[in-house]
């Protein structure tokens, strides 16, 4: 049986790679490539009969499927482009066992390697280059004419879908100066008026911006006008970061109808606005976080009550989500009604790849239990003095 699986696996991998090569137009002549792939010995890649008691692993099933696509295309006289279209349709479809939201129905088939992962609202993740760049401003006339209404709505929908307290346009793949907060307020071409004044002062003094910014933060800290809080970021893979920021910020921006407004934000609205203003300038949490110890997984944050008293620090351990710590002893909790990201668990099917991750966990757990049982049997044999199994 092991020899059969080894031969089938190797043959299937070759057939699958040829099918992919033909489907993507990897050769000079797509039709000739499809013919070459169709001549691959795919009969060995087909799953054994149900009565044989054998089943191919998922990676072999995927390669066999792609090889079968190439064979059908060759028999029908279709070229590599047609194969690519059929492959994309097959991989992108949820199938008869799938739900409309892209997740598998109860009792549905597990994900096969190579299959596209459906995403309702894709989020750009680190280390994407676009997240490190300054974003483009929008034309105020076009904003007033409603030309970006649909795109602005998409950003708001993505924020609400994932229940993050804020979301910026570049995180959704739209590289412009726009963000939204948990109260559905929209800021287009926003300007941090406090930073604008600081930069003008730094230019007059001839000081580098980073050094001057640190100097101003020290002054605000001495006055009790800065605070530390845990900040979630949709682009940093379910992590929370402990960051110090000013308690208030003055912002001038356009609303979604193109009207100019100025506002002073405080509490969590100020913090998340500063977070998104950083995004629009290509500044990420790596520049703001206290240290790497103060970056924790969101899943671990749910079990914060189990942390040791001084992990990662006494102050951070005492700061809950949407709570701001102002040294030396003051804590302020804000209400964020539409930012329940801790309640939207990965296993609930909210995030792309959740079904595949769940299936992998099940398979790994079964493998661990099998290995543990084998080890216990071996241990029992040794205790009885039986010879070690070959």
Residue-level pLDDT at 106: 43
Residue-level pLDDT at 117: 57
DSSP secondary structure string, 245-298? Answer: EESEEEEEEE-TTS-EEEEEEEHHHHHHHHHHHHHHTT--GGGTBS-GGGEEEH
The DSSP code for 208 is: -
Residue 287 CB neighbours (<10 A) = 9
pLDDT tens for the 390 residues of the chain, in order = 444 444 444 444 444 444 444 444 444 444 443 344 334 443 444 444 444 444 444 444 444 444 554 455 445 544 444 444 444 444 433 433 444 444 444 444 555 555 565 678 888 988 889 999 999 999 999 999 999 999 999 999 999 998 999 999 999 999 999 999 999 999 999 999 999 999 999 999 999 999 999 999 999 999 999 999 999 998 987 789 999 999 999 999 999 999 999 999 999 999 999 999 999 999 988 889 989 999 998 878 878 888 998 899 999 999 999 999 999 989 999 999 899 888 876 556 666 555 566 677 788 888 888 999 999 999 888 888 766 555
The CATH code that applies to domain 129-347 is 3.90.45.10
Which residues, listed in sequence order, are joined to residue 295 by a DSSP beta bridge?
A: 241
**Residue owning tokens 């079990």:** 303
Domain extent listing, the chain: 2-92, 129-347, 353-384
The DSSP code for 45 is: G
pTM greater than 0.85 (yes/no): no
In angstroms, the CA 137 to CA 119 distance is 27
Helix H or strand E encompassing 186 = strand 186-192
**Residue owning tokens 């944050």:** 301
In angstroms, the CA 214 to CA 236 distance is 25
Residue-level pLDDT at 273: 97
Q: Which one, of 262, 260, 261, 259, lies nearest residue 145 by Cα?
A: 259
Phi (first) and psi of residue 353, to 5 degrees:
90, 0
Residue-level pLDDT at 180: 98
In angstroms, the CA 69 to CA 37 distance is 10
């Amino acid at each position: 049986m092991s020899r059969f699986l080894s031969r089938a696996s190797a043959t299937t991998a070759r057939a699958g790679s040829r099918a992919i090569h033909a489907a993507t137009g990897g050769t000079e002549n797509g039709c000739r490539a499809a013919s070459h792939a169709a001549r691959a010995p795919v009969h060995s890649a087909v799953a054994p009969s149900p009565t044989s008691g054998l089943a191919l692993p998922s990676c072999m099933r995927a390669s066999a499927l792609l090889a079968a696509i190439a064979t059908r295309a060759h028999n029908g006289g279709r070229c590599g482009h047609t194969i690519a279209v059929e492959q994309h349709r097959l991989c992108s479809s949820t199938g008869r066992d799938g739900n409309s939201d892209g997740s598998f129905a109860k009792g549905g088939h597990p994900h096969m390697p190579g299959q596209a992962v459906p995403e309702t609202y894709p989020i750009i993740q680190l280390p994407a280059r676009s997240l490190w760049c300054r974003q483009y401003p929008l034309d105020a006339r076009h904003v007033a004419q409603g030309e970006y209404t649909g795109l602005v709505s998409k950003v708001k929908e993505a924020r609400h879908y994932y229940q993050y307290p804020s979301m910026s346009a570049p995180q959704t793949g739209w590289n412009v100066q726009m963000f939204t907060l948990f109260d559905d307020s929209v800021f287009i071409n926003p300007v941090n008026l406090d930073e604008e004044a600081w930069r003008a002062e730094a230019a007059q003094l001839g000081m580098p911006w980073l050094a001057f910014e640190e100097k101003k933060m020290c002054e605000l800290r001495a006055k009790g006008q800065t605070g530390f809080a845990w900040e979630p970021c949709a682009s940093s893979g379910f992590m929370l970061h402990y960051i110090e920021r000013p308690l208030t910020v003055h912002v001038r921006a356009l609303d979604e109808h193109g009207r100019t407004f100025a506002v002073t934000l405080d509490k969590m609205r100020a913090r998340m606005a500063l977070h998104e203003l950083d995004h629009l300038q290509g500044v990420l949490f790596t520049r703001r976080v206290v240290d790497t110890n103060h970056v924790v997984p969101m899943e671990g944050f749910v079990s914060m009550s189990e942390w040791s008293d001084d992990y990662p620090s006494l102050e951070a351990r005492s700061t809950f989500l949407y709570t701001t710590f102002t040294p030396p002893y003051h804590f302020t909790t804000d209400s964020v009604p539409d930012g329940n990201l801790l309640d939207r668990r990965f296993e609930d099917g909210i995030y792309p790849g959740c079904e595949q991750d769940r299936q992998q966990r099940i398979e790994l757990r079964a493998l661990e239990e099998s290995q543990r049982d084998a080890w216990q049997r071996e241990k029992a044999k040794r205790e009885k003095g039986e010879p070690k199994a070959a």
